[in-house]
Amino acid sequence: MLINLSELFTCEGKKKEYTAETTLSSVEFSGDTYRILKAEPFKLEIESRTRNKFFMSGCLPVTVEAPCARCLEPVSFECVLDFEREFELKKDASFDGSLDEEPYLEGYNLDVDQLVCNELLLSLPMRVLCREDCKGICNRCGANLNYQTCTCDTRSLDPRMSVIQEIFNQFKEV
């Protein structure tokens, strides 16, 4: 969804409230895909501070689904995207290398999907767990240890003893 900001250019202090909605279905981050399960329309208030400076605020609760960091089972959780931003429209749309570039601005249009994507990336937790005591998956057979046990050998051997382990393996074959 694009919001045209040119109607706010007329005078300073003019406020406009928009009902915005996002069409994002998923977001990629650190190799994981975060699916957006629920995002309802939200209020986005934009105020003209000067001819080119604006203040934007809004709040959007989003239900997101991501894989558990240990067992890879899907986990749904809610992120509340509460944002307040001050931004400036540049006369030329070229990138000047400054760090405060807003990727959600395209000329005089505000891209709501890009704004929500940026805010969601900032709000995501570092690790998503299905539960605190998640046992994860077996690194040998791939069994989910929360639901079943496996008989894999989980001993960690000292790498200096690998020569002796090879001797034992030779005697097993005979």
Q: What is the pLDDT of residues 64-118, one digit of tens each?
A: 999 999 999 999 999 898 888 888 776 554 544 443 557 777 777 888 888 888 8
For residue 91, what pLDDT is reported? 56
Query: If pLDDT is split at 50, 70 and 90, which confidence band does 132 have?
Result: very high
The reply to whether 58 and 89 lie within a common domain is: yes
- What is the number of domains present in the chain? 2
Give domain status of residue 128, yes or no.
Answer: no
Is residue 104 one of the residues assigned to a domain? yes
Percent of the chain at pLDDT > 90 equals 21
Q: Show the tokens assigned to 86.
A: 């001050």
If asked whether residues 166 and 104 sit together in one domain, one would say no
DSSP letter string over 70-113? Answer: TT--EEEEEEEEEEEEEEE--SS-S----TT--TTEETTEEEHH
Q: Is residue 22 part of a domain?
A: yes
Any domain includes 148: yes
Question: From residue 45, how far is each of 5, 48, 57, 101 by CA, in Å?
Answer: 12, 10, 5, 20
Are 149 and 114 within one domain?
no
* CA 85 remoteness from chain centre: 19
Residue 16 has pLDDT above 80, yes or no: yes
Secondary structure of residue 162 in the 3-state scheme: helix
Give the mean model confidence (pLDDT) for residues 36-62.
Answer: 87
Q: Say whether both 86 and 20 belong to one domain.
A: yes
Specify whether 113 is located in the same domain as 142: no
Asked whether residue 129 is domain-assigned, the answer is no
140-157 average pLDDT score: 83
Same domain, 154 and 105: no
Give the pLDDT of residue 153.
Answer: 73
What's the pLDDT at 92? Answer: 52
110 and 152 part of one domain: no
Judged against a pLDDT cut of 90, whether residue 150 lies above it is answered with: no
Q: For residue 30, what are the domain limits?
A: 2-123
Average pLDDT over the chain, rounded to an integer = 82
- 64 and 19 within one domain: yes
